[in-house]
Amino acid sequence: MKITIVGTGYVGLVTGACLAEIGHNVFCLDLDPHKIEILNNGGVPIHEPGLLEMLNRTREAGRIQFSTDIKASVEHGEVQFIAVGTPPDEDGSADLQYVLAAARNIGKYSNCFKVIVDKSTVPVGTARHVHKIVAKELKARGLDTSDKHRFSVVSNPEFLKEGAAVDDFMRPDRIVIGIDDDADGQRAREKMKRLYTPFNRNHERTLYMDVRSAEFTKYAANAMLATRISLMNDLSNLADTVGADIESVRRGIGSDPRIGYHFLYAGCGYGGSCFPKDVQALVQTARENGHRLRILEAVEAVNDDQKEVLVNKIVKRMGEDLHGRTFAVWGLAFKPQTDDMREASSRRLIAALLERGVTVRAYDPVSMQEAQRVFALDLAERPEDIKRLHFVKTQKEALTGSDALVIVTEWKEFKSPDFGHLKSELKMPMIFDGRNLYEPEAMAELGIDYFAIGRPHVELDSNGNRN
């Protein structure tokens, strides 16, 4: 099938590459000429494991192309995926300007029956707006409603985890498709069924439903996962107060099959492109409809507070005045296996440390370039602070001359460091761990002052016994 993907961000590029991988002829459109230049020169503008290799295969096979030509993109695809960004507006609602602009362009150049697929995460009712805009553009061109100019708008939300997006697409646990119950919708259903046939050969993974329910499903899924994270973070703070170990609690409740272990890790707050904006957008949708999602309002508030937890631990241990101190920071991206800095906990942490006079030596295996860009914007009005932020080339280099280490992202290479070298390099030595990578007692035995999230601070006496 001939497929068009509008937008070459995480969702669009992964969707395009994976559909080309299984044999479809894919046209990827983006209005950013720099992105298209990178892609046409054999590169990739984002970091996602396995994506570059897949793009190289499909480029070589001639099944994927990249362009800024809007007219050619619309004429190419019988199925038009809209996979553009929906950033949060000032009130937290999803900004649909890019989605609606894509719909407008499809209406301007449509030349046959089109299935228009909302792949972007969009509020309930967006498909209706897209339908109206396309119909308006067709009418402005003086086109009738003959078979040639008909279309259907489908909701097909993505469920991709950054860092595992290619695997998630190629091995989906479900494919959600929302389709209108009319003749055009049934025609669209047949095309979508054909499109996703390779993913349903072992067993049927596709869930068909009405469009509004499909739109809602994506928000509901992210809201549920964000709720689990914030609940565990809230419990971890109580565990700190009462002397419980949140890791033991996690194992205790996760063993219940009704709960499970997924998304039960305490930490220093969630970030990225999905959870923060989708929780905000769902809360705002509720307000617009005269309803309050009180649990999600609390989820958002807890997550916002959690991004201060490491700073609070540092201040409690070392005092409010940190002038002259130097901290190593391991991990900048919001999660491992990505260079995404959107809503990353490191941004709040580093800004707070710099504000208190700290010099920061920061390292991340992948996101250094993106981090430098982001912090240049974040600290644009704080030139004195940005002078004390140093991006270094290795995790060991970050330790050099540092008083203590702060861990923000749980990259695998941080899980088993050379503790002997770490202890010799740090002046204190001290670790503030925002991802609970190490065992408190083991750190105490090594002579490292270790502070984690919701885990006990262990001190040993001269005989190796707990104080």
> For residue 145, what pLDDT band results from cuts at 50, 70 and 90?
low
Structural domain range at position 398: 307-451
pLDDT of the residue at 299: 97
pLDDT at 384 over 80: yes
pLDDT of the residue at 422: 97
Whether the Cβ atoms of residue 246 and residue 455 lie closer than 8 Å to each other: yes
Q: Which residue, of 253, 274, 305, is where some domain finishes?
A: 305
**In terms of Cα–Cα distance, which of 76, 125, 136 is closest to 103?**
136
Determine the Cα–Cα distance for residues 33 and 58; give it in Å rounded to an integer: 21
Residue 16 in any domain: the answer is yes
Number of domains in the chain: 3
> For residue 207, what pLDDT band results from cuts at 50, 70 and 90?
very high
pLDDT of the residue at 257: 96
Residue at token pair 């262990």: 458
> For residue 146, what pLDDT band results from cuts at 50, 70 and 90?
low
> For residue 357, what pLDDT band results from cuts at 50, 70 and 90?
very high
Instruction: Give the CATH number, domain containing residue 125.
Output: 3.40.50.720
119: its two tokens: 């792949």
Q: Tell me the per-residue pLDDT of 314-332, one tens digit each, with 9 for 90 and over.
A: 999 999 999 999 999 999 9
Whether the Cβ atoms of residue 437 and residue 410 lie closer than 8 Å to each other: yes
296: its two tokens: 């999600």
28 part of the active site:
no
Residue at token pair 């923000």: 408
pLDDT at 375 over 90: yes
Top-ranked range on mean pLDDT: pick from 120-124, 180-184, 408-412: 408-412
By CB atoms closer than 10 A (0-12, 13-18, 19+), residue 91 is exposed
Are residues 297 and 312 both part of a single domain? no
Are residues 178 and 237 both part of a single domain? no
> For residue 201, what pLDDT band results from cuts at 50, 70 and 90?
confident
Q: Tell me the per-residue pLDDT of 210-223, one tens digit each, with 9 for 90 and over.
A: 999 999 999 999 99
By CB atoms closer than 10 A (0-12, 13-18, 19+), residue 21 is buried
Sheet arrangement for strand 359-363: 389-391, 359-363, 326-330, 404-407, 430-433, 449-451
Residue 463 in any domain: the answer is no
51-60 and 10-21 are packed helices; what angle lies between their axes, rounded to 10 degrees? 50
- Report, as an integer, the average pLDDT of 141-159: 85
Are residues 154 and 32 both part of a single domain? yes
Catalytic pick from 18, 28, 268, 274?
274
Residue 465 in any domain: the answer is no
pLDDT at 463 over 70: no
**Mean pLDDT, the chain, as a whole number?**
95
By CB atoms closer than 10 A (0-12, 13-18, 19+), residue 111 is exposed
Are residues 82 and 150 both part of a single domain? yes
- Report, as an integer, the average pLDDT of 50-79: 97
The residue ranges of DSSP E strands in 282-356, in sequence order, are 326-330
- Report, as an integer, the average pLDDT of 19-47: 96
Are residues 23 and 147 both part of a single domain? yes
pLDDT at 31 over 80: yes
Q: Tell me the per-residue pLDDT of 412-451, one tens digit each, with 9 for 90 and over.
A: 999 999 999 999 999 999 999 999 999 999 999 999 999 9
Q: Which residue, of 162, 178, 209, is where some domain finishes?
A: 209
Residue 39 in any domain: the answer is yes
Are residues 173 and 269 both part of a single domain? no
Q: What is the DSSP string of 287-321?
A: HHTT---HHHHHHHHHHHHHTTHHHHHHHHHH-S-
pLDDT of the residue at 293: 97
Q: Which residue, of 281, 305, 329, is where some domain finishes?
A: 305
Residue 457 in any domain: the answer is no
pLDDT of the residue at 202: 81
Residue 333 in any domain: the answer is yes
Q: Tell me the per-residue pLDDT of 268-306, one tens digit each, with 9 for 90 and over.
A: 999 998 999 999 999 999 999 999 999 999 999 999 999
Are residues 185 and 285 both part of a single domain? no
How many Cα atoms are found within 13 Å in the side-chain-facing hemisphere of 28? 33
Determine the Cα–Cα distance for residues 423 and 180; give it in Å rounded to an integer: 62
Determine the Cα–Cα distance for residues 243 and 249; give it in Å rounded to an integer: 12
Are residues 57 and 80 both part of a single domain? yes
Are residues 282 and 326 both part of a single domain? no
Are residues 47 and 144 both part of a single domain? yes
Instruction: Give the CATH number, domain containing residue 270.
Output: 1.10.1040.10
- Report, as an integer, the average pLDDT of 92-101: 93
- Report, as an integer, the average pLDDT of 39-67: 96
Residue 462 in any domain: the answer is no
Residue 265 in any domain: the answer is yes
Q: Is the pTM of this model over 0.85?
A: yes
pLDDT of the residue at 462: 66
Determine the Cα–Cα distance for residues 85 and 257; give it in Å rounded to an integer: 36
- Report, as an integer, the average pLDDT of 392-406: 97
Q: Where are the alpha helices (DSSP H) in 70-121?
A: 70-76, 97-109
Are residues 293 and 158 both part of a single domain? no
- Percent of the chain scoring above 70 in pLDDT: 98
Before 429, cis peptide (omega within 30)? yes
- Report, as an integer, the average pLDDT of 138-164: 87
- Report, as an integer, the average pLDDT of 339-354: 97
Are residues 168 and 34 both part of a single domain? yes
Whether the Cβ atoms of residue 79 and residue 27 lie closer than 8 Å to each other: no
> For residue 251, what pLDDT band results from cuts at 50, 70 and 90?
very high
